[in-house]
Amino acid sequence: MTENPEETTLTLVDLAHRLDEQNIIGFVRNMVPDLRSGFSAVNPSRFPWLDELRRAPWSGVLCLGMGGSAAGGDFLSTLSAHGGGCPIIVHRDYTLPSWFDGTWLVLATSHSGNTEETVTATHAALAQGATAIVIATGGELAGLPELHERCYLIPSVGGQPPRTAFGHLFSRQVACLEALGLLPPVQPTQRAAMLDRLEANGEHFDVLRHPEGDIALLAAGLVDRPLAVLGPTELAPALNRFKNQMNENAARFVRVGVLPEMNHNESVAWGGIGPNGDETASEHALLVLTWPGVHPRVSQRLDWMVAHATTEHAWNLAGEGTSLMESLLYHCLVMDWLSTTLALLHGKDPSAIAPIDALKAHLQSVQ
């Protein structure tokens, strides 16, 4: 928390009014409405080319993107591994994998449409004769369908930072792959019920409406401690997004561990001794993300980890929902509210990303 004595008397509402210059909290509140509008925005009636692409025998989907615009690809990959029809691989770079060819469908996502790594890789894929679907609000990517016959645009909604546009982008990605038959379709009534439950949870997490609620209390317990998040493989996208949201919103580092893999290496460090003989693991706040579908053996591993970790500061964040997608989105709501609340408690504008802006300016100057 900020050391300014005057700040200690300020409420979260006061801090939000003082610090949240780009209304990040407003964007967090809109995630579920963004999801709802995005799911309904993509269908074969609006984009007839989806029926044509559905008939192709794709080897898989290569998701191109960076930062918040790439996060949805991680979720797609996990959902496909859990119940989809083809491999979905996320690629964050300027170049393409050496094995890439035109049998792979490219899904290029950039909120601005000008992310240079994504633009460069998409150009390279189209030069190899690939088919690409672009999700963007504008920029160079959005203009590619005018130049390439095998490139198609799904427009998204602008006017906000990329990391707050996850609802817009991810829902369009999911709806697109469902229309292509690459993810199993969800019945409209089931999806509507899921979104209603998520919306109710989002209202419950709202720290300005519930300043003594679960998220606010948890954030207060995390202010002065290094953060670590653990969870099963199928929640890895949520763990990674948790780290990224904490990095950008709250300017905090986060250690990420995925089970069962981390039990074969990192578990030693959690029970070990630091370089100066101090038990550094005991200083960490440990957040354990779960969901109803966790493999029984992984659940046992998680229970053992919590029982034997040297830290006394551990919380179980149980993702609610009737599906993996709902549990993942539930965790997204938690992490957005938690990271934004920590930003306020640290006296930081959650929209401020000065190092990223400075790097972009440097790269432009050396072109």
- With both helix axes pointing from N to C terminus, report the angle between 67-83 and 324-345 in degrees, rounded to the nearest 10: 150
* Per-residue pLDDT in tens (0 to 9) along the chain, 367 residues: 445 554 457 899 999 999 999 999 999 999 999 999 999 999 999 999 999 999 999 999 999 999 989 999 999 999 999 999 899 999 999 999 999 999 999 999 999 999 999 999 999 999 999 999 999 999 999 999 999 999 999 999 999 999 999 999 999 999 999 999 999 999 999 999 999 999 999 999 999 999 999 999 999 999 999 999 999 999 999 999 999 999 999 999 999 999 999 999 988 887 755 555 445 677 889 999 999 999 999 999 999 888 887 778 889 999 999 999 999 999 999 999 999 999 999 999 999 999 988 988 898 899 7
Model pLDDT, residue 1: 44
- pLDDT given at position 2: 47
Q: How far apart are CA 194 and CA 327, in angstroms?
A: 10
| pLDDT, position 7 | 46
Q: According to the model, what pLDDT value does residue 231 have?
A: 97
- The domain segmentation of the chain, as residue ranges, is 5-21+204-345, 27-185
Q: Which fold has domain 5-21+204-345?
A: Rossmann fold (3.40.50)
pLDDT at 8: 55
**27-185: what fold?**
Rossmann fold (3.40.50)
Look up the pTM and report it.
0.94
- Per-residue pLDDT at 4: 55
